Protein backbone atom coordinates (compact mmCIF):
# COMPACT_ATOMS: atom_id res chain seq x y z
CA UNK A 1 0.00 0.00 0.00
CA UNK A 2 1.01 3.62 -0.51
CA UNK A 3 3.02 5.07 2.37
CA UNK A 4 1.46 7.70 4.62
CA UNK A 5 3.65 10.80 4.38
CA UNK A 6 4.16 12.81 7.53
CA UNK A 7 5.33 16.40 8.02
CA UNK A 8 6.61 17.10 11.53
CA UNK A 9 6.38 20.72 12.69
CA UNK A 10 8.62 21.29 15.69
CA UNK A 11 11.73 19.29 16.55
CA UNK A 12 12.04 20.01 20.26
CA UNK A 13 11.66 17.45 23.06
CA UNK A 14 8.48 15.85 21.70
CA UNK A 15 9.23 16.41 17.99
CA UNK A 16 12.68 14.88 18.43
CA UNK A 17 11.22 11.90 20.30
CA UNK A 18 8.62 11.38 17.57
CA UNK A 19 11.24 11.57 14.83
CA UNK A 20 13.47 9.05 16.58
CA UNK A 21 10.78 6.51 17.52
CA UNK A 22 9.23 6.65 14.03
CA UNK A 23 12.67 6.04 12.54
CA UNK A 24 13.84 3.41 15.03
CA UNK A 25 10.62 1.34 15.01
CA UNK A 26 9.80 1.87 11.32
CA UNK A 27 9.51 -1.86 10.53
CA UNK A 28 7.26 -2.61 13.49
CA UNK A 29 5.09 0.44 12.76
CA UNK A 30 4.77 -0.51 9.09
CA UNK A 31 3.60 -4.01 10.03
CA UNK A 32 1.00 -2.56 12.39
CA UNK A 33 -0.25 0.08 9.93
CA UNK A 34 -0.19 -2.22 6.94
CA UNK A 35 1.73 0.48 5.08
CA UNK A 36 4.88 2.53 5.75
CA UNK A 37 4.57 5.78 7.71
CA UNK A 38 7.39 7.93 6.36
CA UNK A 39 8.73 11.29 7.44
CA UNK A 40 8.39 13.47 4.35
CA UNK A 41 9.41 16.80 5.84
CA UNK A 42 10.47 18.39 9.13
CA UNK A 43 10.13 22.05 10.07
CA UNK A 44 12.09 23.48 12.96
CA UNK A 45 13.64 26.68 14.24
CA UNK A 46 16.57 25.08 16.08
CA UNK A 47 18.20 21.81 14.99
CA UNK A 48 17.85 18.93 17.45
CA UNK A 49 21.24 17.20 17.86
CA UNK A 50 19.43 14.02 18.98
CA UNK A 51 17.89 13.62 15.48
CA UNK A 52 19.72 12.54 12.33
CA UNK A 53 17.67 14.23 9.60
CA UNK A 54 20.04 13.35 6.77
CA UNK A 55 18.04 12.84 3.57
CA UNK A 56 14.81 14.35 4.96
CA UNK A 57 13.38 17.53 3.46
CA UNK A 58 13.63 20.27 6.04
CA UNK A 59 12.43 23.85 6.29
CA UNK A 60 12.21 26.65 8.80
CA UNK A 61 8.71 27.53 7.57
CA UNK A 62 6.05 25.43 9.30
CA UNK A 63 3.41 26.68 6.86
CA UNK A 64 5.39 25.13 3.99
CA UNK A 65 4.49 21.76 5.56
CA UNK A 66 0.79 22.65 5.68
CA UNK A 67 0.80 23.39 1.93
CA UNK A 68 3.23 20.66 0.81
CA UNK A 69 1.33 18.43 -1.67
CA UNK A 70 3.59 15.49 -0.70
CA UNK A 71 2.46 15.60 2.96
CA UNK A 72 -0.65 13.66 4.04
CA UNK A 73 -0.49 14.32 7.79
CA UNK A 74 0.77 17.42 9.61
CA UNK A 75 2.11 16.65 13.09
CA UNK A 76 1.84 19.88 15.09
CA UNK A 77 4.42 19.93 17.88
CA UNK A 78 5.20 23.63 18.17
CA UNK A 79 2.87 24.22 21.16
CA UNK A 80 1.17 27.47 22.16
CA UNK A 81 -2.16 28.86 21.01
CA UNK A 82 -2.00 31.30 18.13
CA UNK A 83 0.62 30.10 15.63
CA UNK A 84 -0.36 26.49 16.30
CA UNK A 85 -3.99 27.41 15.63
CA UNK A 86 -3.08 29.06 12.31
CA UNK A 87 -0.92 26.09 11.34
CA UNK A 88 -3.61 23.51 12.12
CA UNK A 89 -6.32 25.51 10.33
CA UNK A 90 -4.01 25.93 7.31
CA UNK A 91 -3.32 22.18 7.28
CA UNK A 92 -7.05 21.38 7.43
CA UNK A 93 -7.80 23.95 4.74
CA UNK A 94 -5.26 22.13 2.55
CA UNK A 95 -6.94 18.78 3.19
CA UNK A 96 -4.25 17.41 5.52
CA UNK A 97 -4.97 15.20 8.48
CA UNK A 98 -3.57 16.57 11.73
CA UNK A 99 -1.97 14.95 14.75
CA UNK A 100 -1.23 17.26 17.67
CA UNK A 101 0.06 17.03 21.24
CA UNK A 102 -1.22 20.55 21.96
CA UNK A 103 -3.72 20.43 24.84
CA UNK A 104 -3.96 24.22 25.10
CA UNK A 105 -4.92 24.39 21.43
CA UNK A 106 -7.53 21.62 21.66
CA UNK A 107 -9.01 22.82 24.98
CA UNK A 108 -9.39 26.41 23.79
CA UNK A 109 -9.94 26.15 20.01
CA UNK A 110 -10.98 22.50 19.65
CA UNK A 111 -14.69 23.06 18.90
CA UNK A 112 -13.80 25.30 15.96
CA UNK A 113 -10.97 23.04 14.75
CA UNK A 114 -13.21 19.96 14.79
CA UNK A 115 -15.92 21.79 12.86
CA UNK A 116 -13.40 22.83 10.19
CA UNK A 117 -11.96 19.29 10.07
CA UNK A 118 -15.46 17.80 9.81
CA UNK A 119 -16.29 20.12 6.91
CA UNK A 120 -13.10 19.02 5.11
CA UNK A 121 -13.48 15.34 6.04
CA UNK A 122 -10.05 15.11 7.70
CA UNK A 123 -8.90 13.53 10.96
CA UNK A 124 -7.63 15.59 13.89
CA UNK A 125 -6.08 13.28 16.50
CA UNK A 126 -4.78 14.37 19.90
CA UNK A 127 -3.97 11.36 22.09
CA UNK A 128 -0.68 12.95 23.16
CA UNK A 129 -2.47 16.05 24.43
CA UNK A 130 -3.55 14.30 27.64
CA UNK A 131 -1.35 12.36 30.06
CA UNK A 132 1.66 11.88 27.75
CA UNK A 133 2.04 8.23 26.80
CA UNK A 134 -1.11 6.90 28.50
CA UNK A 135 -3.73 5.97 25.87
CA UNK A 136 -6.52 7.59 27.88
CA UNK A 137 -8.25 9.25 24.91
CA UNK A 138 -8.48 5.89 23.16
CA UNK A 139 -9.71 4.21 26.34
CA UNK A 140 -12.41 6.80 27.03
CA UNK A 141 -13.48 7.32 23.44
CA UNK A 142 -13.51 3.69 22.34
CA UNK A 143 -12.72 1.16 25.06
CA UNK A 144 -15.34 2.54 27.48
CA UNK A 145 -17.84 3.33 24.74
CA UNK A 146 -20.55 1.18 26.34
CA UNK A 147 -20.52 3.13 29.60
CA UNK A 148 -22.21 6.13 31.08
CA UNK A 149 -19.19 7.75 32.71
CA UNK A 150 -19.95 8.78 36.31
CA UNK A 151 -16.69 10.51 37.22
CA UNK A 152 -13.02 10.68 36.48
CA UNK A 153 -10.12 11.95 38.55
CA UNK A 154 -6.50 12.11 37.59
CA UNK A 155 -2.99 13.26 38.15
CA UNK A 156 -2.60 14.80 34.72
CA UNK A 157 0.37 17.12 35.04
CA UNK A 158 3.70 15.33 35.24
CA UNK A 159 5.68 18.41 36.24
CA UNK A 160 3.40 19.20 39.17
CA UNK A 161 3.50 15.61 40.41
CA UNK A 162 7.29 15.53 39.96
CA UNK A 163 7.62 18.69 42.07
CA UNK A 164 5.27 17.47 44.84
CA UNK A 165 7.00 14.08 44.99
CA UNK A 166 10.55 15.40 45.26
CA UNK A 167 9.65 18.19 47.69
CA UNK A 168 7.98 15.67 49.99
CA UNK A 169 10.50 12.82 49.70
CA UNK A 170 13.73 14.81 49.59
CA UNK A 171 12.77 18.06 51.28
CA UNK A 172 13.98 19.95 48.21
CA UNK A 173 12.98 23.51 47.39
CA UNK A 174 10.18 24.15 44.89
CA UNK A 175 12.39 26.12 42.44
CA UNK A 176 15.12 23.49 42.51
CA UNK A 177 12.76 20.65 41.54
CA UNK A 178 11.02 22.80 38.92
CA UNK A 179 14.41 23.53 37.30
CA UNK A 180 15.08 19.79 37.10
CA UNK A 181 11.65 19.17 35.51
CA UNK A 182 12.45 21.88 32.95
CA UNK A 183 15.85 20.34 32.17
CA UNK A 184 14.16 16.96 31.61
CA UNK A 185 11.75 18.55 29.11
CA UNK A 186 8.62 17.92 31.22
CA UNK A 187 7.59 21.50 31.89
CA UNK A 188 5.61 23.79 29.61
CA UNK A 189 7.40 26.70 27.89
CA UNK A 190 5.70 28.82 30.56
CA UNK A 191 5.98 26.62 33.69
CA UNK A 192 3.27 28.59 35.47
CA UNK A 193 0.90 26.53 33.28
CA UNK A 194 2.11 23.44 35.19
CA UNK A 195 2.33 25.00 38.63
CA UNK A 196 -0.95 26.92 38.54
CA UNK A 197 -2.97 24.03 37.15
CA UNK A 198 -3.72 25.56 33.73
CA UNK A 199 -2.12 22.65 31.88
CA UNK A 200 -4.11 20.17 33.97
CA UNK A 201 -7.30 22.17 33.32
CA UNK A 202 -6.65 22.00 29.56
CA UNK A 203 -6.36 18.22 29.83
CA UNK A 204 -9.36 17.84 32.14
CA UNK A 205 -11.48 19.90 29.74
CA UNK A 206 -10.62 17.45 26.94
CA UNK A 207 -11.25 14.36 29.08
CA UNK A 208 -14.62 15.64 30.30
CA UNK A 209 -15.81 16.44 26.78
CA UNK A 210 -14.98 12.92 25.64
CA UNK A 211 -16.39 11.31 28.78
CA UNK A 212 -19.78 13.06 28.64
CA UNK A 213 -20.08 14.14 25.00
CA UNK A 214 -20.20 17.89 25.68
CA UNK A 215 -18.41 20.72 23.85
CA UNK A 216 -14.99 21.80 25.12
CA UNK A 217 -15.49 24.49 27.79
CA UNK A 218 -12.08 25.37 29.20
CA UNK A 219 -13.33 28.77 30.38
CA UNK A 220 -15.66 27.04 32.86
CA UNK A 221 -12.98 24.89 34.53
CA UNK A 222 -11.99 25.85 38.08
CA UNK A 223 -8.20 26.01 38.41
CA UNK A 224 -6.05 26.14 41.54
CA UNK A 225 -2.32 25.36 41.60
CA UNK A 226 0.17 23.75 43.96
CA UNK A 227 2.10 26.81 45.09
CA UNK A 228 0.25 27.21 48.40
CA UNK A 229 0.78 23.64 49.66
CA UNK A 230 2.95 23.79 52.79
CA UNK A 231 5.11 21.16 54.47
CA UNK A 232 2.81 21.43 57.46
CA UNK A 233 -0.26 20.47 55.44
CA UNK A 234 1.61 17.55 53.88
CA UNK A 235 2.51 16.36 57.39
CA UNK A 236 -1.00 16.87 58.80
CA UNK A 237 -2.53 15.05 55.84
CA UNK A 238 -0.12 12.18 56.44
CA UNK A 239 -1.10 11.99 60.13
CA UNK A 240 -4.75 11.80 59.12
CA UNK A 241 -4.10 8.97 56.64
CA UNK A 242 -4.11 11.08 53.47
CA UNK A 243 -1.71 12.27 50.80
CA UNK A 244 -2.01 15.57 48.92
CA UNK A 245 -2.17 15.22 45.14
CA UNK A 246 -2.91 17.81 42.47
CA UNK A 247 -5.96 16.35 40.76
CA UNK A 248 -8.20 17.12 37.83
CA UNK A 249 -11.69 15.99 38.80
CA UNK A 250 -14.87 15.81 36.76
CA UNK A 251 -18.14 14.37 38.07
CA UNK A 252 -21.59 13.95 36.65
CA UNK A 253 -24.18 15.17 39.16
CA UNK A 254 -27.94 15.71 38.96
CA UNK A 255 -27.35 19.46 38.59
CA UNK A 256 -24.59 19.31 35.98
CA UNK A 257 -20.92 18.49 35.50
CA UNK A 258 -18.13 19.36 37.90
CA UNK A 259 -14.88 20.44 36.25
CA UNK A 260 -12.16 21.34 38.72
CA UNK A 261 -8.38 21.21 39.22
CA UNK A 262 -6.95 21.70 42.71
CA UNK A 263 -4.75 20.13 45.39
CA UNK A 264 -6.73 17.30 46.99
CA UNK A 265 -6.37 15.08 50.04
CA UNK A 266 -6.94 11.46 49.03
CA UNK A 267 -6.74 8.37 51.26
CA UNK A 268 -3.27 6.82 51.23
CA UNK A 269 -4.64 3.42 50.24
CA UNK A 270 -6.00 4.63 46.88
CA UNK A 271 -3.88 3.60 43.88
CA UNK A 272 -3.74 7.25 42.79
CA UNK A 273 -2.01 8.11 46.07
CA UNK A 274 0.93 5.98 44.97
CA UNK A 275 1.53 7.70 41.64
CA UNK A 276 4.81 9.57 41.98
CA UNK A 277 7.32 11.61 39.98
CA UNK A 278 6.45 12.41 36.37
CA UNK A 279 3.95 9.57 36.25
CA UNK A 280 0.27 10.35 35.56
CA UNK A 281 -2.77 8.24 36.33
CA UNK A 282 -6.47 8.65 35.66
CA UNK A 283 -9.24 6.81 37.47
CA UNK A 284 -12.45 6.50 35.47
CA UNK A 285 -15.75 5.22 36.82
CA UNK A 286 -18.11 3.74 34.24
CA UNK A 287 -21.55 2.46 35.15
CA UNK A 288 -20.99 -0.90 33.45
CA UNK A 289 -17.27 -1.53 33.88
CA UNK A 290 -16.94 0.01 37.38
CA UNK A 291 -13.65 1.63 38.38
CA UNK A 292 -10.72 1.55 35.96
CA UNK A 293 -7.25 3.06 36.24
CA UNK A 294 -4.75 4.16 33.59
CA UNK A 295 -1.11 4.76 34.57
CA UNK A 296 2.11 5.75 32.84
CA UNK A 297 4.54 8.53 31.97
CA UNK A 298 2.73 11.85 31.70
CA UNK A 299 5.47 13.77 29.90
CA UNK A 300 8.82 13.30 28.21
CA UNK A 301 10.11 12.82 24.68
CA UNK A 302 9.45 9.17 23.86
CA UNK A 303 6.38 8.54 26.07
CA UNK A 304 4.66 11.44 24.28
CA UNK A 305 5.99 10.19 20.93
CA UNK A 306 4.34 6.85 21.71
CA UNK A 307 0.92 8.55 21.79
CA UNK A 308 1.60 10.64 18.68
CA UNK A 309 2.61 7.59 16.67
CA UNK A 310 -0.47 5.68 17.88
CA UNK A 311 -2.49 8.52 16.34
CA UNK A 312 -0.48 8.25 13.12
CA UNK A 313 -1.34 4.54 13.02
CA UNK A 314 -5.02 5.42 13.38
CA UNK A 315 -4.71 7.95 10.57
CA UNK A 316 -2.95 5.36 8.38
CA UNK A 317 -5.75 2.84 8.99
CA UNK A 318 -8.60 5.33 8.50
CA UNK A 319 -7.27 7.54 5.76
CA UNK A 320 -9.50 5.87 3.17
CA UNK A 321 -12.50 5.38 5.44
CA UNK A 322 -15.49 7.59 4.79
CA UNK A 323 -15.48 10.40 7.34
CA UNK A 324 -18.88 9.39 8.72
CA UNK A 325 -17.60 5.96 9.74
CA UNK A 326 -14.66 7.28 11.76
CA UNK A 327 -14.73 7.67 15.56
CA UNK A 328 -16.07 11.21 16.24
CA UNK A 329 -13.50 13.72 17.48
CA UNK A 330 -15.19 14.03 20.89
CA UNK A 331 -16.44 10.43 20.95
CA UNK A 332 -20.14 11.28 20.48
CA UNK A 333 -22.09 12.27 17.37
CA UNK A 334 -23.83 15.65 17.47
CA UNK A 335 -21.87 17.07 20.42
CA UNK A 336 -23.47 20.35 21.50
CA UNK A 337 -26.72 19.70 19.67
CA UNK A 338 -30.07 19.41 21.46
CA UNK A 339 -31.46 21.28 24.42
CA UNK A 340 -30.78 18.81 27.24
CA UNK A 341 -27.00 19.24 27.40
CA UNK A 342 -25.59 19.10 30.94
CA UNK A 343 -24.15 22.41 32.14
CA UNK A 344 -20.74 22.84 33.76
CA UNK A 345 -21.37 23.79 37.38
CA UNK A 346 -19.97 26.93 39.00
CA UNK A 347 -17.40 26.08 41.65
CA UNK A 348 -19.79 27.35 44.34
CA UNK A 349 -22.19 24.56 43.41
CA UNK A 350 -19.82 21.60 43.64
CA UNK A 351 -19.94 19.24 46.63
CA UNK A 352 -16.89 17.87 48.38
CA UNK A 353 -15.33 17.32 51.82
CA UNK A 354 -12.72 19.68 53.28
CA UNK A 355 -9.53 19.86 55.30
CA UNK A 356 -9.22 23.19 57.13
CA UNK A 357 -6.21 24.52 59.05
CA UNK A 358 -6.51 27.64 61.14
CA UNK A 359 -4.52 29.45 63.78
CA UNK A 360 -6.54 30.44 66.85
CA UNK A 361 -5.88 32.26 70.11
CA UNK A 362 -5.77 29.63 72.87
CA UNK A 363 -8.83 30.88 74.79
CA UNK A 364 -11.94 29.09 76.08
CA UNK A 365 -14.82 29.16 73.64
CA UNK A 366 -12.86 29.69 70.39
CA UNK A 367 -13.23 26.13 69.19
CA UNK A 368 -16.92 26.17 70.12
CA UNK A 369 -17.48 29.31 68.04
CA UNK A 370 -15.72 27.74 65.03
CA UNK A 371 -17.82 24.58 65.41
CA UNK A 372 -21.03 26.62 65.78
CA UNK A 373 -20.25 28.61 62.63
CA UNK A 374 -19.73 25.42 60.65
CA UNK A 375 -22.96 23.96 62.05
CA UNK A 376 -24.87 27.13 61.13
CA UNK A 377 -23.66 26.73 57.56
CA UNK A 378 -24.88 23.13 57.56
CA UNK A 379 -21.35 21.69 57.67
CA UNK A 380 -20.71 18.57 59.71
CA UNK A 381 -17.28 18.00 61.31
CA UNK A 382 -15.70 14.59 60.83
CA UNK A 383 -12.48 15.09 62.82
CA UNK A 384 -10.89 17.88 64.81
CA UNK A 385 -7.30 18.12 66.06
CA UNK A 386 -5.98 20.94 68.23
CA UNK A 387 -2.19 21.02 68.20
CA UNK A 388 0.14 22.33 70.91
CA UNK A 389 0.78 26.04 70.82
CA UNK A 390 3.76 26.72 68.54
CA UNK A 391 3.49 30.39 67.75
CA UNK A 392 3.16 32.32 70.98
CA UNK A 393 -0.44 32.14 72.06
CA UNK A 394 -1.69 30.78 68.74
CA UNK A 395 -2.65 27.14 68.34
CA UNK A 396 -3.08 25.34 65.02
CA UNK A 397 -6.47 23.64 64.62
CA UNK A 398 -7.04 21.02 61.95
CA UNK A 399 -10.60 20.17 60.91
CA UNK A 400 -11.94 17.56 58.52
CA UNK A 401 -15.53 18.01 57.38
CA UNK A 402 -18.10 15.80 55.73
CA UNK A 403 -19.18 16.61 52.19
CA UNK A 404 -20.87 19.96 51.76
CA UNK A 405 -21.54 22.54 49.10
CA UNK A 406 -18.59 24.85 48.31
CA UNK A 407 -20.90 27.87 48.69
CA UNK A 408 -21.54 26.95 52.35
CA UNK A 409 -17.86 26.42 52.99
CA UNK A 410 -16.96 29.79 51.43
CA UNK A 411 -19.40 31.50 53.78
CA UNK A 412 -18.15 29.56 56.82
CA UNK A 413 -14.53 30.44 56.02
CA UNK A 414 -15.46 34.10 55.55
CA UNK A 415 -17.11 34.14 58.99
CA UNK A 416 -14.27 32.22 60.70
CA UNK A 417 -11.61 34.52 59.25
CA UNK A 418 -13.58 37.51 60.59
CA UNK A 419 -13.39 36.23 64.20
CA UNK A 420 -11.03 38.23 66.42
CA UNK A 421 -9.58 35.01 67.86
CA UNK A 422 -8.54 33.68 64.46
CA UNK A 423 -5.22 34.79 62.96
CA UNK A 424 -4.67 35.10 59.20
CA UNK A 425 -6.34 33.09 56.48
CA UNK A 426 -7.92 29.68 56.86
CA UNK A 427 -6.15 27.04 54.74
CA UNK A 428 -8.69 24.97 52.81
CA UNK A 429 -7.84 21.82 50.87
CA UNK A 430 -10.59 19.74 49.31
CA UNK A 431 -10.85 16.06 50.22
CA UNK A 432 -12.02 13.29 47.92
CA UNK A 433 -12.51 9.70 49.02
CA UNK A 434 -12.54 8.52 45.36
CA UNK A 435 -14.89 5.94 46.70
CA UNK A 436 -16.06 3.52 44.09
CA UNK A 437 -19.65 3.94 45.29
CA UNK A 438 -19.78 7.73 44.96
| Complex with ligand HSE: residue 158 or 256, whichever CB lies closer | 158
How near is the Cβ of 134 to ligand HSE at its closest, in Å? Answer: 11
CA distances from 357 to 227, 229, 324, 393, 394 (A): 16, 12, 54, 16, 12
- Least distance in Å: CB of 148 to ligand HSE? 28
Which residues contact residue 418 at a Cβ distance below 8 angstroms, ignoring those fewer than 6 apart?
none
Residue with smallest beta-carbon separation from ligand HSE:
159
Judged by beta carbon, residue 177 or residue 358, the one nearer ligand HSE is: 177
Cβ proximity to ligand HSE, 160 vs 256, nearer residue: 160
Question: Are 249 and 351 spatial neighbours (Cβ–Cβ below 8 Å)?
Answer: no
Contact 24, 52 (CB under 8 A): no
Enumerate the active-site residues: 203
Q: How far apart are CA 45 and CA 139, in angstroms?
A: 35
DSSP class of residue 231 equals: H
Closest distance to ligand HSE from the beta carbon of 330 (Å): 19
Q: Return the number of the residue (186 or 294) whose C-beta is nearest ligand HSE.
A: 186
| CA nearest neighbour of 227 among 306, 275, 292, 159 | 159
**Residue 130 Cβ, how far from ligand HSE at the closest point, in Å?**
8
For the bound state, the minimum distance from the C-beta of residue 139 to ligand HSE, rounded and expressed in Å, comes to: 17
Burial of residue 149, with CB atoms counted within 10 A of its CB: 0-12 exposed, 13-18 middle, 19 or more buried: buried
Residues that bind ligand HSE (CB under 6 A): 132, 157-159, 186-188, 194, 199, 298-299
Q: Are 268 and 240 in contact (CB under 8 A)?
A: no
Q: State which residue, 298 or 396, has the beta carbon closest to ligand HSE.
A: 298
Neighbours of 159 (CB within 10 A): 27
Amino acid sequence: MKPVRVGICGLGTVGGGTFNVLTRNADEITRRAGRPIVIEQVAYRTPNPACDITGIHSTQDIFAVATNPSVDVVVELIGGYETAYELVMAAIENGKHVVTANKALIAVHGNEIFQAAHDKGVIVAFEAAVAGGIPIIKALREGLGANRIEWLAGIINGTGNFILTHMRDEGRAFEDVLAEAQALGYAEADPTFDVEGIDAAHKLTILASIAYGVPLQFDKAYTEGIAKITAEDVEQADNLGYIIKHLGISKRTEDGLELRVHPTLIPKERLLANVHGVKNAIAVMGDAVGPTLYYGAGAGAEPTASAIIADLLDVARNINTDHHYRVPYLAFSGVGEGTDQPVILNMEDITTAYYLRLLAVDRPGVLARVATTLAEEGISIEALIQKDSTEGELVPIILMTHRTREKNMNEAIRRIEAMVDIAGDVTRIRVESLDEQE
